[in-house]
Amino acid sequence: MVTTRLLSGRRQAAALATLSVAVLAAALHADARAAASLLGSWDYVLRHDAEGQPQAAFARLRGERGSLLWLTCQRQSLDADQPPVRFITAAVAQRQYLGRSDPRGRSTVYWFDGGTPEVGHWLYRDRYGQIPKPEEMRAFVEKLAGASSLTVELSNYRYETQKLEFQLDPADTRNVADRFTKDCGNILRESAESSERSTSGSLAIEPRKAAP
């Protein structure tokens, strides 16, 4: 058995994970409540809600062979009967079909500046993979801020890997990381102050504990 409320929250987080890249693409076009800017080699969007409060922050960097690196932090209502959920993630999108992963994700290797490879379990949807855990995402942004390059090996549904590289301008990337961290803090703080329910990006369904 599973907890119905928890299951609903996980499904909402999954939906946000699927929508995050599409939402950013739309935000980069005209939007009355989105302030788009170009921070060096990065595109950056800060979106506000109808009350003028920060609602979502998006950053995008272009890599080789049409690949894209996205940073996303947002709170969004997916159901009128439910309070908004919040979501923070990094995603790498590219042109080849990767297939959908199970809730545990697929092992994904990445490294900065040719350093020690790190392994995370990323979630996959269609043509992109993303970091599901907020704590891993925050560590990723911290390391990204001081790097000159990022290499990611995405894994498709056959577990075949595809290596993608992103060249980072250190000054631009530090500026984006600092602004994203600040804006995301305001977005999540606004969510907490409004007593909105928070869910992580993990899609794992936790079993109900047996009564003693």
Global pTM exceeds 0.85: no
Residue 181 has pLDDT above 80, yes or no: yes
What are the φ/ψ torsions at residue 17 (nearest 5 degrees)? -60, -40
Place of tokens 């855990």: 133
Confidence of residue 121 (pLDDT cuts 50, 70, 90): very high
Could you read off the pLDDT of 29-78 as tens digits, one per residue?
444 455 677 888 999 999 998 889 899 999 999 999 999 999 999 988 77
Of 134 and 83, the one with more pLDDT = 134
166/87 Cα distance (integer angstroms) = 24
Could you read off the pLDDT of 90-104 as tens digits, one per residue?
999 999 999 999 999
Look at residue 83 in the predicted model and tell me its pLDDT: 74
Q: How confident is the prediction for the chain on average, in pLDDT?
A: 79
Look at residue 7 in the predicted model and tell me its pLDDT: 35
Look at residue 143 in the predicted model and tell me its pLDDT: 96
Residue 3 has pLDDT above 50, yes or no: no
User: Distances in Å between the alpha carbon of 41 and those of 8, 38, 59, 123, 171?
Assistant: 38, 7, 10, 26, 10
Domains (range + CATH), the chain: 4-193 (2.60.40.1880)
Residue 144 has pLDDT above 70, yes or no: yes
Contact 174, 180 (CB under 8 A): no
